[in-house]
Structure 1
Amino acid sequence: MNQVLSATQATQFQKAMQHLIAGKSQTALGMARDLASEQPGAADAHQLLGMCLGEQGFPAEASSAFERALSLLPGNRVVLKNFTAFLVKQGKLFRSRHQFDAATAFLQRAVKLMPDHRFAWAELGMALRLTGDIDGALSAFDKAVKLGGGTPALRNAINGTLQDAGQLETAVRGAQQLVNENPGYAGAQETLANILWENRQRLPREDDPFRLFRRAVKQQPENTELHISFVRMLLSAKYWDEALNVLLPLRLRQPDNPVLSWYFAEALENTGEVEAASRLFSSIASKWNNNAGFLNAYTRHAFRRKEIDLANECASRAVVVDPGNQEAWANLGIFWRLQNDAREYWLFDYENLIEYIQIAPPSGYASNEEFLTVLQKKLESMHQVSGEPINQSVRGGSQTPGRLFGRKDPVLNELWLALQSAVENWLGTLPRDAKHPFLSRNLKAVRSVGSWSVRLASAGRHSNHIHNQGWLSSAFHVSLPHEVQIGDKAQNGWLQFGSPLESLGLELPARRLIQPKAGCLALFPSYMWHGTVPFTGEQARLTIAFDMQPTAGTK
């Protein structure tokens, strides 16, 4: 039975709430613990304790406190509302950390507590989409819409998820309608432009994936967020001159905005104004040297200028600012290589930190060939887009949208279990090194944070790149052209490691090459420079790739 707080305790409760609202959650937590101890039968005390614990980053204890409050006041709307708000906040937090399964668990609990909470349903849809559960995401989004949550952000998420589901025409129609109704909403413009870009080969020649985006930017000169979003897309598409034209008036209004100056410097460099770009990069760095993304861009600029010591300075600073930044380590490794520094091999260890292993077919298949044939048909049906994404390494091919694994597809689920087992068996053989950016984080188990399939046509390739969202990356070969399988001297379609981004102009050859074989999996640190040698042939080169982060337990 619920007990009422005494007058003195009620005063303490109000003071604790004031501290919590003022952002002094640690002080509030101490007071809440005292109240819950003094009056263990008071739902208000446990509810307050749950709120404070949640703010302090103790989700398990917070959940227990809210559960205790609900047991004392079953069905109480205030407790349910605050408990749900806590669960939604935790779901968003874990989603931001790429811990999508944990996010989903919190949000599923939220909608169970309050089935009419439209924001909880919307957030659950976001999390489910990122786990790969496309059908579950669309179902959750549908519930949010029916509860009155059809916001532009939710509709934009639905359009992106429809593309993931392969419902391309519906996604395009929805994205175009949303953009027409909300031309100043940058997220909707990005979604539509990305879909159209990937399918530009199907568009009429005179059509432009950026047409509506460009029109909105011209009509809304004061919408800085929209302009910056458009500039990012222009830079990704290598529309350097147009990016400069968009940035000029923005920089006049916001001359001290470091992001605008950074983008302007990148556009200047790529239009041949290298000296002006150098001066601008240097000016930005003197005031803003705590952003790893900018430092990586400045490092790339320094390499192109052959200013090797400056590249070292920037890359070294970047790994201090963000020790888990994969590009920063990749760039530092380039500097060590240029200096013939043995730390290149300590970091990359091309022999021991690159593994290539045969994956056994899942049970129920007579042979590896039988399983790969089934898998190939599944993947081919998912490659509906006609061109590569705007900001990926694919050249001359297509990439599946959304997350590949987690779609409740038995073939893909069986493959993931086999791949995960192989990955964790390999990780178990590696040593620990507390100073090494890869080996220091090896917990022997992994969770997937991104997965996709790539289909390369003749002359297609992966440009040299790294994976900044991962810790461990991969390439699983499903189907290979004859020209790749024969293993000639040209090494058509082979995997190559150690050769950096081509646009840096360093012309460093690969340190290791691997001839792909169907059914085999390549594993390597996400900061490892990798790409593929182009090939010529009639058949496509079909692969699956996935990025992983270390975890204390298996998925």
Structure 2
Amino acid sequence: MQQINQALTAGYAAFQRGAFDEARRHLEDIDHVKAIHLLGLVEKNAGDTAAAARLFERAAELDPQDPEIANNRAALARQNGDVALAESEFRRALAINPTFRQASTGLGRLLIDTERWQEALELYEPLVAADSGDVVLRYGLATAILNLGRTEEAADLFDALIREGNEQAEIRFMRGRARLELNEVDAALEDLVASHVAQPSNFTLRALASTYWMQRNERAFLDLLEHSARVPELAVTTAEIFRQSGDPQKALDVLAGAREVARLPAEGWSVAATAHVDLGEAREAEAAARACLDDNPADRLIIGSLLTSLLMQGKAEEAMPIIRRMRESEPDGQHWIAYEATALRLMGSERYRELVDLDRFVRPYELPVPDGFETIEDFNAAFLEALEPWHQYETHPLDQSLRDGSQTPRDLTTIDDPVIQAFYRALDVPIRQYMADVGSGDDHPLTARNTGDYRIAGAWSVRLHGGGRHVNHVHPEGWISSAYYVAVPDEARNDAEHAGCIKFAEPPFATVPPTPPEKWIRPRAGVLVLFPSFLWHGTQPIHDGSVRVTAPFDAVPA
């Protein structure tokens, strides 16, 4: 035992100095759980995560009651993207030692990474109650609260942290996000700039660029991107922002520069493929997608780019096996259903009409007059007034489907306004009618999820003006999507060219043969259109300079 202790002491000292080869020499021949565990830490810090994973697994087998081993194994699994193992090991560490702070914070970060906000809240609340001075725990709690839509409460928590001198980049960034949702744009920019200067990241870059863009602050937008294009860690996000702003060639130029410095990561090839799609270069898009598919066979963005490029070239039969694989792995993934529909249409399959039954699944409803109003016209006038303060921006977000318009920055269901809340109460009748009208049944991806109940999973407002439109898109995380018309321009009421109308079944990329829209619905104030989230949908531009205001939402089964 003395020999083991001496080896552990020497190995740990070498590990602390970063002398990993020396640490290995002291530890690798010692068949003891502590030596194996420490050697796992050595390999993790030396960058050999595969060896570290094997060593942590062996240590856990030898001593399943050691919370340190479970926690370190969990942290490595989280780093490697193995969410299931990470969660299991964090929870095992906490079952052994419920007060183990590292395991608590590790699990909290995992829940936040995977956007499980309610679970994160339930984890952090008692921890903060027990230790109200812990900055990391309070930050985690505030982050969960913000993402649950309790924006005012989250902003207060971030304010308190910063007043106490905790001005870390992450805290400033999250307060900036909260301030954006509260329409405090100038104050939000102060936080976002401070965060980006202190610790530049893809998150701060995207938030800053998007805000400058929506303000039409072209100089600040371009200055930010020109600088970030020269930072290797930010180049891919910079390229994607250029692409989203309507400059796919500039995106490709940035990626070409990045490739001269380092190997392009998978997301970079995905951006390149999408930029080629935007330029109508289907073969180049396919080549970019295939360039890293072997190394990243499960990357959803790359797979989506590959499918788009194949369908653009009329290669539906080649795309279909990939689509089937993705449909099996993610049966509720709305974008995979959309790709399947387009492939079936190109193949002339009868199954297309079963999947895309537009008369059955696309339905308009009159919104019942909300409580407290005499007519739907009275309500729409009040609703328009309630939405007006939330349409502060000059133009559309970078990462959304609208063009030449604005979108509210916050989930409207979280806004404490009686008129806005009256709208969401009034939706219950038509949503339930829609579920009854389309029915249930295992033979279709819409009806198979019909439980007879629902919840709103995102709600916003869009204001389109002269030239405004939605490019064709789907809602990947939805089930039922919608368009409620609050205000409709005169042009949309009788224009023969479908100005302002919503259209269905036309993909956002040109195909061979062409796949034009198959259904149009003319907008009318007071009408709610409901349809499956997997349907490609967009709108025709408005030309006369007047505005079209909608209040869309997504619903998912409850």
TM-score range, shorter chain: 0.7 to 0.9
Which residue of structure 2 lines up, in the alignment, with residue 5 of structure 1? none
**Residue of structure 1 aligned with 2:154, choices 121, 137, 142:** 137
Q: Which protein has greater RCO, CA pairs closer than 8 Å, 6+ apart?
A: 1
Give the number of aligned pairs: 489
Which residue of structure 1 lines up, in the alignment, with residue 499 of structure 2? 492
Which residue of structure 2 lines up, in the alignment, with residue 406 of structure 1? 414
Q: Which secondary structure does the structure 2 equivalent of 1:306 belong to?
A: coil
Shift of 1:359: 2.0
Shift of 1:283: 4.1
Does 1:525 pair with 2:532? yes
**Residue of structure 2 aligned with 1:281, choices 278, 289, 292:** 289
Q: Which secondary structure does the structure 2 equivalent of 1:289 belong to?
A: coil
Letter in 2 for 1:520: V
Letter in 2 for 1:238: G
Letter in 1 for 2:186: E
Shift of 1:368: 2.1
Does 1:195 pair with 2:211? yes
Give deviations 1:318-365, integer Å, cap 9, x for gaps: 323433322121011011112221222222221222232122233222
Which residue of structure 1 lines up, in the alignment, with residue 404 of structure 2? 396
**Residue of structure 2 aligned with 1:347, choices 349, 355, 364:** 355
TM-aligned CA distance change 1:85 to 1:374, over 3 Å: farther
Which residue of structure 2 lines up, in the alignment, with residue 514 of structure 1? 521
Distance in structure 1 (CA, Å) of the matches to 2:205 and 2:261: 23
Shift of 1:90: 6.3
Gaps of 5+ in 2: 1-61, 76-83
Distance in structure 1 (CA, Å) of the matches to 2:509 and 2:424: 32
Q: Which secondary structure does the structure 1 equivalent of 2:292 belong to?
A: helix
Shift of 1:270: 5.1
Shift of 1:104: 4.0
Deviates more, 1:265-274 or 1:141-150: 265-274
TM-aligned CA distance change 1:483 to 1:287, over 3 Å: same
Deviates more, 1:408-417 or 1:370-379: 408-417
Give deviations 1:183-217, integer Å, cap 9, x for gaps: x33322211111001111xx3x6x15131232144
TM-aligned CA distance change 1:84 to 1:216, over 3 Å: closer
Does 1:539 pair with 2:546? yes
Shift of 1:369: 2.0
Give deviations 1:102-121, integer Å, cap 9, x for gaps: 54454444433433232333
The residue correspondences of 1:333-482 to structure 2 (distance < 5 A) are: 333-482=341-490
Distance in structure 2 (CA, Å) of the matches to 1:467 and 1:505: 24
Which residue of structure 1 lines up, in the alignment, with residue 8 of structure 2? none
Distance in structure 1 (CA, Å) of the matches to 2:260 and 2:554: 40
**Residue of structure 2 aligned with 1:501, choices 462, 486, 508:** 508
Which residue of structure 1 lines up, in the alignment, with residue 11 of structure 2? none
Does 1:124 pair with 2:145? no
TM-aligned CA distance change 1:290 to 1:95, over 3 Å: same
Distance in structure 2 (CA, Å) of the matches to 1:241 and 1:158: 34
Distance in structure 1 (CA, Å) of the matches to 2:193 and 2:537: 37
Letter in 1 for 2:137: A
Shift of 1:504: 4.8
Distance in structure 2 (CA, Å) of the matches to 1:359 and 1:328: 31
Distance in structure 2 (CA, Å) of the matches to 1:429 and 1:266: 37
Does 1:549 pair with 2:546? no
Shift of 1:444: 2.4
TM-score normalized with structure 1 length: 0.78
Which residue of structure 1 lines up, in the alignment, with residue 223 of structure 2? 211
Shift of 1:420: 4.0
TM-aligned CA distance change 1:248 to 1:54, over 3 Å: closer
Are the aligned partners of 2:401 and 2:470 in contact in 1 as well (CA < 8 Å)?
A: yes
Give deviations 1:38-63, integer Å, cap 9, x for gaps: xxxxxxxxxxxxxx99944999x999
Distance in structure 1 (CA, Å) of the matches to 2:530 and 2:90: 35
Gaps of 5+ in 1: 1-11, 26-51, 67-77
Letter in 2 for 1:495: I
Are the aligned partners of 1:461 and 1:534 in contact in 2 as well (CA < 8 Å)?
A: yes
Letter in 1 for 2:206: E
Shift of 1:542: 0.5
Shift of 1:297: 0.7
Are the aligned partners of 1:84 and 1:110 in contact in 2 as well (CA < 8 Å)?
A: no
TM-aligned CA distance change 1:327 to 1:459, over 3 Å: same
Letter in 2 for 1:418: A
Distance in structure 1 (CA, Å) of the matches to 2:264 and 2:210: 30
Q: Which secondary structure does the structure 2 equivalent of 1:352 belong to?
A: helix
TM-aligned CA distance change 1:253 to 1:539, over 3 Å: closer
Q: Which secondary structure does the structure 1 equivalent of 2:65 belong to?
A: helix
TM-score normalized with structure 2 length: 0.77
Q: Which secondary structure does the structure 1 equivalent of 2:427 belong to?
A: helix
Distance in structure 2 (CA, Å) of the matches to 1:378 and 1:167: 17
Does 1:20 pair with 2:32? no
Q: Which secondary structure does the structure 2 equivalent of 1:341 belong to?
A: coil
TM-aligned CA distance change 1:452 to 1:307, over 3 Å: same
Are the aligned partners of 1:326 and 1:466 in contact in 2 as well (CA < 8 Å)?
A: yes
Distance in structure 2 (CA, Å) of the matches to 1:270 and 1:368: 41
Which residue of structure 1 lines up, in the alignment, with residue 34 of structure 2? none
TM-aligned CA distance change 1:189 to 1:285, over 3 Å: closer
Give deviations 1:159-187, integer Å, cap 9, x for gaps: 122122111222223323333343x3332
Deviates more, 1:394-403 or 1:413-422: 413-422
Q: Which secondary structure does the structure 2 equivalent of 1:247 belong to?
A: helix
Q: Which secondary structure does the structure 1 equivalent of 2:414 belong to?
A: coil
TM-aligned CA distance change 1:123 to 1:415, over 3 Å: farther
Letter in 2 for 1:432: S
Q: Which secondary structure does the structure 2 equivalent of 1:351 belong to?
A: helix
Give deviations 1:98-146, integer Å, cap 9, x for gaps: 5545544544444334332323332333333333332122112223334
Which residue of structure 2 lines up, in the alignment, with residue 185 of structure 1? 201
Distance in structure 1 (CA, Å) of the matches to 2:476 and 2:451: 19
Distance in structure 2 (CA, Å) of the matches to 1:57 and 1:521: 47
Are the aligned partners of 2:214 and 2:396 in contact in 1 as well (CA < 8 Å)?
A: yes
Q: Which secondary structure does the structure 2 equivalent of 1:209 belong to?
A: helix
Which residue of structure 2 lines up, in the alignment, with residue 310 of structure 1? 318
Which residue of structure 2 lines up, in the alignment, with residue 8 of structure 1? none
Q: Which secondary structure does the structure 2 equivalent of 1:405 belong to?
A: helix
Are the aligned partners of 1:53 and 1:62 in contact in 2 as well (CA < 8 Å)?
A: no
Report the RMSD for the aligned CA atoms in angstroms. 3.4
Q: Which secondary structure does the structure 2 equivalent of 1:145 belong to?
A: helix
Distance in structure 2 (CA, Å) of the matches to 1:169 and 1:22: 42
